Structure 1
Amino acid sequence: MPRYPAAFASAVLLALVPPAPPAHAAAACEVQSGTSTAALVELYTSEGCSSCPPADSRLRALRSQLPANAVVVPLGLHVTYWDGLGWRDPFAQPAFDARQRALLDQRRLRVAYTPQFFVNGDELRDWQSGLPATIRRLNATPAAASIILKTASITRAGTGLRLDVQARLTDAQAAGDLYVAITESGLVSQVKRGENGGATLHHDDTVRLWLGPVAFTHGRAELHSDIALPPQWRGDGLRALAFVQDQRAHVLQAVDTSACVPPMAPTGSPQ
């Protein structure tokens, strides 16, 4: 059953990282969204919530349980409002609390909880069995936006990353926003206290960096940013992604760098 924390804190924080100095460009990746609508699967979770590990496992296994032609972009967003209840989640950010609350407000839903799934901006309560059919339905829908996402290493040590994103709406008169994120997979936590005290938790597609919104002008939006990658982030587990949503937070298209191997240049050691 979903768990509802005793208190909910909401704040807006866009995790902008100071630019890294430009240097030799090494590994690079370029991906472009297709003509069908990708499924952006957002899981709101917390290491302080005993009901969340099964949902984390569902997200980790999602790609392997779908057909090879499925187009899906998974996100694990760790919220902060469990942090005062016995265990501080090292991957939680206030920006993710705000994202969850914004989706709820758009749908006129009142209660934020974990684990909670949204697919292309709509809540999916039957996530245990309903994800494959929802993803198939979305993939069968023509996309209302297109995205080109480019990444490149900008330091010889692989500790800097350049992000270049260009997005276009099919309807140039429509309004929308562009978001960009970096996720990390292969994360492991030894939880010492709280509801999951003594457990070893595994996380994939965990959001590390969240950029946006960037508003569309005349049907176009761009984001260009140089990112300094912290040494504790494992480069071989990192992916970049971008998605476009309309004014009501319905996701129109998404794309990530999972087609590039390795997704990004190696950096430091695991956290």
Structure 2
Amino acid sequence: MTISIKSFILSPWLQLAAIAGSSCVLAADLTGPPTPSSAVVSVIELFTSQGCSSCPPADKLLAQIARRPDIVAVSFAVDYWDYIGWKDTLALPLSSSRQRAYAALQGGNGVRVYTPQAVIDGIADAIGGDRQEVEEAIKSTKGVDGAATLPLRLQDADDHFVVDVAAGGGGPAGIYVLRVLRARTVHIGHGENAGRNVTYTNVVRAINRIGEWTGSRVTLNVPKLIAEDEGYVVFVQRGDLDQPGAILGAVKSAGL
């Protein structure tokens, strides 16, 4: 499955990342190739909604899976269920656009837009609340079209962070940074989940393309534009903004 993002936030990332280019920061030890302490084996994107009665079990499952150091797991809150009685407080148009693009690019295979939907490594989907189906998808996508095979490293350096992408095959691909809210508990006042308190984990608040990977090693310096309760996810995904492909590699900041 694949993606498209129509809306971008925090444009200073693009400007400053471009200025930084492939330079390194003295405070970061990047003399060797990227060797993250825990290699990421999969990226899970959960499309969820506060107005969806089937979503809370999936939100809980994502929180559990996100604790694994070898998994990058994020939530995208969609807005297309807002009309049924509750406006999702975390929803962003970019979340719905991303999910619809996955479905459009796989339309011939019968992929549809629904919640809770988990998209794994950009190339497969599963019912977000079905642990067995999600785990099987993680296993089945490993290495397919280069998914989750590219080493990345993310390091703090004062007022910015350093993204280091290894050399390898499978390019070109875009390098994306996601600003992520670690956790937020919401009391839902109306709609299908009225009266429930639901905790959402690693909620994407912004996404931006910060560079291009063509197969050579790339190092980017990106300014920190996050709040205290937020972190970063960086991934490399084949294709362009409208027709991307497999997620080749990913890394997450501490606490995600």
Please give the TM-score of this superposition, normalised by the length of structure 2.
0.73
1:150 counterpart residue number? 155
2:24 counterpart residue number? none
How far the C-alpha of 1:200 sits from its partner, in A, is: 0.9
Matched, 1:184 2:181: yes
2:249 counterpart residue number? 253
SS of 1:204's equivalent? strand
Alignment partners' CA distance in 2, 1:86 and 1:222: 46
In structure 2, what residue type is equivalent to 1:187? R
Would the aligned equivalents of 1:184 and 1:204 in 2 still touch at CA under 8 Å? yes
Would the aligned equivalents of 2:47 and 2:77 in 1 still touch at CA under 8 Å? yes
1:229 counterpart residue number? 226
SS of 1:99's equivalent? helix
How far the C-alpha of 1:39 sits from its partner, in A, is: 0.3
Q: Kindly report which structure 2 residues correspond to 1:50-199, keeping only aligned pairs within 5 A, or say none.
A: 50-63=53-66, 71-108=70-107, 109=110, 111-127=112-128, 128=130, 129-136=132-139, 144-154=149-159, 162-171=160-169, 174-199=171-196
Alignment partners' CA distance in 1, 2:183 and 2:191: 22
2:20 counterpart residue number? none
In structure 2, what residue type is equivalent to 1:15? I
How far the C-alpha of 1:120 sits from its partner, in A, is: 0.3
Cα gap change, 1:193/1:254 in structure 2, threshold over 3 Å: closer, same or farther? same
Aligned length: 227
Would the aligned equivalents of 2:55 and 2:115 in 1 still touch at CA under 8 Å? yes
1:241 counterpart residue number? 233
Alignment partners' CA distance in 1, 2:29 and 2:199: 27
Unaligned runs of 5+ in 2: 14-26
1:38 counterpart residue number? 41
1:12 counterpart residue number? 6
The worse-fitting range, judged by mean Cα deviation, of 178-187 and 100-109 is 100-109
Q: Deviations over 1:21-75 (max 9, x none)?
A: xxxxxx99998547965200010011111111111111011145x6xxx621001
Q: Which has the higher helix share?
A: 2
SS of 1:55's equivalent? helix
In structure 2, what residue type is equivalent to 1:80? D
Q: Deviations over 1:164-200 (max 9, x none)?
A: 323245127x321111112223311111122222211
Please give the TM-score of this superposition, normalised by the length of structure 1.
0.70
Alignment partners' CA distance in 1, 2:54 and 2:140: 28
In structure 1, what residue type is equivalent to 2:153? I
In structure 1, what residue type is equivalent to 2:59? D
Q: Deviations over 1:218-257 (max 9, x none)?
A: 6455554324435xxxx2x433111112224211111112
The worse-fitting range, judged by mean Cα deviation, of 86-95 and 100-109 is 100-109
Would the aligned equivalents of 2:123 and 2:141 in 1 still touch at CA under 8 Å? no
| Percent of aligned pairs sharing the same letter | 26
Would the aligned equivalents of 2:175 and 2:234 in 1 still touch at CA under 8 Å? yes
Alignment partners' CA distance in 1, 2:191 and 2:28: 41
